[in-house]
């Protein structure tokens, strides 16, 4: 989220400062603390060492990359990570959803800054209208997805914000800014799409005699699971859950995940655990990033148990 999200204050677990993240990371922290307690209680039974990584600033600016640079993975051979939340599909709370390969998309933010020549709206021929340029840029960029990216590839460009002028009806501004997000499932497609956005935006604006800069910020790579680690996790999950509670994803999600920086360095398994609960105020269920997002705490123990079982089994197998 790029703006503060406030928890509804009639919620029984509202924070003292009203702020909330609404994405389940408080639940992740609670589960990992439980895992620490369980592992410590059975420390003598472990055939190796387990390292617990509490990931900060997952949605910006991103804590995984600086942790990698600080050497957090230097003594790590494989990774296991999880995200709770509402999953699209017919799932029960506690169900496991995992992919053998692509799991989360590369997530990049783009800022396109356009400069023209301002003036009065009655004489547009004396101006270089950046609003008209922005409209063409937005339209032309959409053709990258519909006409240049293969249809079997996962790619999304959402240009979600346009800022120009100060609200006057008759003043053509000098500048306009477009902001958006880019999601790609493949590193190759990611590189191509980012290159083409820069080319299309720059050439479109130049055609209209303006100037343009394209900046990419807060980029996360795609998160790709390692098949061998996923299979090890599934063997462990089958010890604790019946087969109908374990689901294989047919394709990855287009959401971004900062943990991709970890998975770029070490093989791992990142899975989802379906979890949602009715809001106490109205009895309705809301998805992540909604101020009434709630989780079912009664299944947290299952997540902790899965982590402990998978860690023990992987150490034993390797």
Is residue 38 in a domain? yes
Q: For residues 95 and 84, give the distance between their C-alpha atoms in angstroms, rounded to a whole number.
A: 10
Q: Measure the CA–CA gap between 217 and 242, rounded to whole angstroms.
A: 43
Together in a domain, 41 and 127: no
Domain count, the chain: 2
Q: Do 215 and 257 have their domain in common?
A: no
Is residue 2 domain-resident?
Answer: no
Q: What pLDDT does 122 receive?
A: 97
Q: Which has the closest alpha carbon to 137: 115, 114, 160, 116?
A: 114
Residues 33 and 65 in one domain: yes
CATH code of the domain containing 204: 3.30.70.360
Q: Are residues 93 and 226 in the same domain?
A: yes
In contact, 25 and 258? CB cutoff 8 Å: no
Q: Are 262 and 81 in contact (CB under 8 A)?
A: yes
Same domain, 232 and 169: no
Residues 202, 179, single domain; the answer is yes
Q: Residue 297 belongs to a domain with what CATH number?
A: 3.40.630.10
HSE value, Cβ hemisphere, 13 Å, CA-based, for 245: 17
Give the per-residue pLDDT at 291: 81
User: Residue 304, SS3?
Assistant: helix
pLDDT at position 1 is: 39
Per-position pLDDT tens, the chain of length 318: 344 666 655 666 667 777 777 788 888 999 999 999 999 999 999 999 999 999 887 766 678 999 999 999 999 999 999 999 777 778 999 999 999 999 999 999 999 999 999 999 999 999 999 999 999 999 999 999 999 999 999 999 999 999 999 999 999 999 999 999 999 999 999 999 999 999 999 999 999 999 999 999 989 999 999 999 999 999 999 999 999 999 999 888 998 899 999 999 999 999 999 998 888 878 888 888 788 888 899 999 999 999 999 999 999 999
Q: Which domain holds residue 134?
A: 106-220
Asked whether residue 6 is assigned to any structural domain, the reply reads: no
Range 26-31, long-range pairs (CB < 8 A, 24+ positions) = 27/84, 27/275, 27/295, 27/297, 27/300, 28/55, 28/82, 28/83, 28/84, 29/54, 30/300, 31/82, 31/300, 31/303, 31/304, 31/307
Whether residue 258 contacts residue 64, with contact meaning beta carbons closer than 8 Å, is answered with yes
Give the pLDDT of residue 4. Answer: 63
Q: Which of 169, 194, 220 is the last residue of a domain?
A: 220
- 13 occurs within a structural domain: no
Burial 182-196 (b: 16+ CB within 10 A, else e): bbbbbeebbebbbeb
Does residue 122 share a domain with residue 201? Answer: yes
206 and 246 part of one domain: no
Residues sharing a CB contact under 8 Å with residue 62, sequence separation 6 or more, in sequence order: 218, 220, 258, 261
Cβ atoms < 10 Å from Cβ of 204: 22
**Has residue 201 been placed in a domain?**
yes
| b/e burial code for range 80-98 (CB count within 10 A of at least 16 → b) | bbbbbbbbeeebebbbbbb
Using CA atoms, how far residue 297 sits from 80, 242, 276, 277, in Å, is 21, 20, 9, 9
Residue where one domain finishes, among candidates 220, 253, 288: 220
| Prediction pTM value | 0.87
Q: How many angstroms separate the most distant Cα atoms in the chain?
A: 81
Asked if the structure places residue 250 within a domain, the reply is yes
Residue 5 within a domain: no
For residue 272, the surrounding DSSP H or E stretch is strand 268-274
The 8-class DSSP code of residue 309 comes to H
Domain boundary pick from 189, 220, 251: 220
Same domain for 54 and 140, yes or no, is no
In a domain, 125, yes or no: yes
Give dist(CA 23, CA 232) in Å, integer: 27
147 lies in the same domain as 180: yes
Phi, psi of 65 (to 5 degrees): -60, -50
| CA gap 108, 197 in Å, rounded | 12
Tell the residue number behind the tokens 């101006």, with chain if given.
Answer: 127
Does 241 lie in the same domain as 209? no
199 with 277, same domain? no
What is the helix (H) or strand (E) element at residue 41, kind and residue range?
helix 25-41
């Amino acid at each position: 989220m790029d703006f503060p999200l406030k928890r509804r204050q009639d919620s029984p677990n509202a924070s003292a400062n009203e702020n909330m993240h609404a994405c389940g990371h408080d639940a992740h922290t609670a589960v990992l603390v439980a895992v620490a307690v369980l592992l410590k209680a059975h420390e003598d039974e472990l055939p190796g060492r387990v390292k617990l990584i509490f990931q900060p600033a997952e949605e910006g600016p991103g804590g995984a990359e600086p942790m990698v640079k600080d050497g957090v993975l230097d003594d790590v051979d494989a990774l296991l990570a999880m995200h709770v939340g509402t999953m699209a599909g017919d799932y029960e709370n506690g169900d496991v959803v995992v992919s053998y390969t692509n799991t989360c998309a590369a997530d990049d933010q783009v800022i396109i800054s356009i400069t023209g020549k301002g003036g009065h709206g009655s004489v547009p021929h004396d101006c270089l209208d950046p609003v008209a340029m922005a409209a063409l840029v937005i339209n032309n960029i959409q053709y990258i997805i519909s006409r240049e990216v293969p249809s079997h590839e996962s790619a999304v460009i959402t240009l979600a914000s346009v800022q120009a002028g100060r609200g006057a009806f008759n003043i053509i501004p000098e500048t306009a800014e477009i902001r958006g997000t880019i999601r790609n499932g493949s590193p190759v497609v990611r590189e191509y799409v980012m290159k083409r956005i820069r080319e299309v935006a720059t050439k479109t604006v130049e055609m209209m005699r303006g100037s343009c800069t394209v900046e990419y910020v807060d980029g996360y790579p795609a998160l790709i699971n390692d098949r061998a680690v996923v299979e090890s996790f599934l063997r462990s999950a089958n010890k604790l859950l019946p087969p109908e509670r374990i689901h294989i994803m047919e394709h990855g999600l287009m959401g971004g995940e900062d943990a991709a920086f970890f998975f770029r360095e070490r093989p791992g398994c990142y899975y989802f655990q379906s979890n949602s609960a009715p809001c106490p105020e109205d009895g309705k269920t809301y998805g992540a990033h909604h101020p009434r997002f709630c989780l079912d705490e009664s299944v947290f123990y299952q997540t902790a148990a899965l982590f402990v079982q998978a860690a023990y089994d992987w150490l034993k197998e390797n």
